[in-house]
A and B are shown apart, each in its own frame.
Chain A
Amino acid sequence: MSKLFFDHLIVLSEVDRKIKSLAKSQEEKEELWGLIDEIVHHRVFDLILGKLPKEKHIEFMEMFHKCPNDEVYIMSYLEKATGENLGDYIKEEFKKFEKEILSELET
């Protein structure tokens, strides 16, 4: 089993549709999925650390390292530490990210 605490926040259906329409083999599809995965991971951490006070960065990283799958535990910690609904923030940022990727692919 492999689950990350932010999986439920990221839905890039149009990017997926694009990949599925272009990939000619399973290997190619999985390679492209993997590249999106890498971008998503870096973006999520970038967004979170950008909102968290610097003195809490390592505390969060330790929490993630210990239970990377636990969405309730980590998201409630983040909301308490930032005083913001980080879930909604990440969702909104990824809507923009999807548009950005799609428009780049059109150019």
Chain B
Amino acid sequence: MAHDPPGTTYKINKGKIDTEFLRNKLKLKSLEAKRSFQEKYPHAHKFLADRGVDLAKIRQHSAKVISAGALTGTLLLSPPVGIDIRAPLEISKNVDKPLQETFLGLLKSALPEKARPLLRTEEKSLEQVFQEVIGVKTKATLEGEHLNTTYGYIGAEQHLKRFAGDSMGVHPAVSEDDEGMAPGRGAWGYVPGDVEKWYAVVQTLYLPDWSIRQPYLRDWYKYRKVLIVNTKNGNAVVAAIADAGPAAWTGKHFGGGPEVMNYLGGPRYKKGPVVVFFVDDPENKVPLGPVEYNKVNVPILALRQV
């Protein structure tokens, strides 16, 4: 009869205890926070309860408000950004202006100063820029699906396991600052090697209809191609969605695998603003990896490192 090697049982138990311990601690803290709020502010608690809103689940309330089209306040007061890309593109061709410089200028005109969910008109302008300037056909809304947000911060993620027993011992590190390998599997299980090399993480867990439109959404998002554009230097990469996250309280809205982050901003790039759109690729012809529109004519603007 086979036995676990010495130490294995201890390791398994230790892992189990740690996760349960963490869950119990957090559950306790959550209950305490809830009780304390209700005791200190019963009128606020009643206000929400009367409207069927649970403070623990206000993200769903926000999703409902936004998807009902009830955008109010600042977003409606700030004029949507719209741009005409023909003139800058013509100038770029005629005076041999680096395409990356033109692209960055257009991004600056098309985007609000601070990262925030984009208006439909802003997304339409960007779709045009991406197709005309860097040659990738994209959609912010594809087949009726839209990400949680399309302009936000991306953060560095770890490698995903490609098979049982995968580890950094057999997976090449991308840089000295490589984040290593995630202990568990990705949201869609083990990831094929070609996908793992260029993978993206999006907040499917916060989609307003994620839990009710299953298994359709899960299948739709699995390895779905997205274009990720670093809005600070114009570097762009096509990646496949292979994991869900990051959590809302990390200050990030997307994640990129080590290769993706390295291409977008260099080996020390850990977080930065990006635009993420779906790649409109019904025939599956767009390859994963860098979009090297800037390779030939931008020798001076080697903006890999930000």
**Interface range, B side:** 35 or more
Which residues in chain B, 69-94, are within 8 Å of chain A measured between CB atoms?
A: 70-75
Interface flag for A99 (CB, 8 Å): no
B interface SS class:
helix
Which residues in chain B, 1-55, are within 8 Å of chain A measured between CB atoms?
A: 15, 18-19, 21-23, 25-27, 29-30, 33-34, 36-37, 40-41, 43-44, 47-48, 51, 53, 55
Report the Cα distance A42→B251, complex, angstroms: 18
Cβ of A3 and Cβ of B66 under 8 Å apart?
yes
Q: Which of A1, A22, A25, A33 contacts B146 (CB 8 A)?
A: A1
Report the Cα distance A18→B22, complex, angstroms: 9
Contact of A37 with B247 at beta-carbon distance under 8 Å, contacts A3-B66, A19-B22, A69-B66 already known: yes
User: Which of B182-190, B219-227, B283-291 is the contact stretch?
Assistant: B182-190
Cβ of A26 and Cβ of B250 under 8 Å apart?
no
Q: Which residues of B contact A38 (CB under 8 A)?
A: 30, 33-34, 55-56
Interface flag for A51 (CB, 8 Å): no
Report the Cα distance A45→B33, complex, angstroms: 10
Q: Which residues of B contact A58 (CB under 8 A)?
A: 43-44, 47
Q: Which 9 A-B pairs have the closest CB atoms?
A: A73-B73, A42-B33, A2-B63, A35-B26, A11-B251, A72-B74, A38-B56, A70-B73, A68-B62
A-B contact pairs, 25 of them (CB 8 A): A2-B207, A3-B148, A7-B249, A7-B251, A16-B246, A16-B247, A19-B22, A20-B158, A20-B183, A22-B22, A23-B184, A24-B15, A25-B184, A26-B186, A33-B205, A36-B26, A50-B40, A57-B43, A57-B44, A61-B44, A61-B48, A67-B71, A69-B66, A74-B73, A104-B25
